[in-house]
Structure formats: structure tokens, C-alpha cells
Amino acid sequence: MSRAKLNIPKEFFSDATFVKSSDCAWLRDPFCVEVSHKDKLVGIRNSKNPDGPILAYTEDEWRAFVAGVRKGEFDF
């Protein structure tokens, strides 16, 4: 998941509903992201800056990332 679809205009997600992980509240983590699914794309934005940039990935790229997280492939 190294390649964001930066050519997707931010307005594409203007009517999308973004959700924040429930772990953010439980962990009291101020550095959380919000995710939205729209038309086979996944938008990701900073929860502290919802008007900021949105990174967009395909659903396949997002599924690969989530699978990698579940397998512990990343150091957080």
C-alpha cells in the first residue's frame, strides 16, 4: 500500500461518512485516522484535521493493508 491515489479530488469524499476506530477512544490516542468507503475507494484522513488532505486507496489495497496489520507485519 505504498501508492496513494493522490489524483482523487478531496471533494470526491465530501458526502462520505468517515468513522474513527473505537480503539482510539479506548486507548485515548490523539493520533487517530478516520476511514470512509465510497465507490470502491477507501479514503483516510487525520481525525484531528478532518478538513485536511485525504489519501485514497483501492479496496484491494486497503484489504491488503488491514491483513498485514492483523498479521503483525508492521511496527507501530
pLDDT, residue 31, reads 74
Rg (CA), the chain: 13
The count of other CB atoms within 10 Å of the CB of residue 42 is 23
Domain locations along the chain? 10-70
CA angle 57, 4, 73 (to 5 degrees): 80
* Residue of 9 and 25 predicted with greater confidence: 9
Q: What is the pLDDT of residues 47-66, one digit of tens each?
A: 888 888 899 999 999 999 99
Q: Cell numbers of 6, please? A: 493522490
The count of other CB atoms within 10 Å of the CB of residue 64 is 13
pLDDT, residue 4, reads 55
Q: What is the pLDDT of residues 17-35, one digit of tens each?
A: 999 877 776 666 667 889 9
Cα–Cα distance for residue pair 45/33, rounded to 1 Å: 6
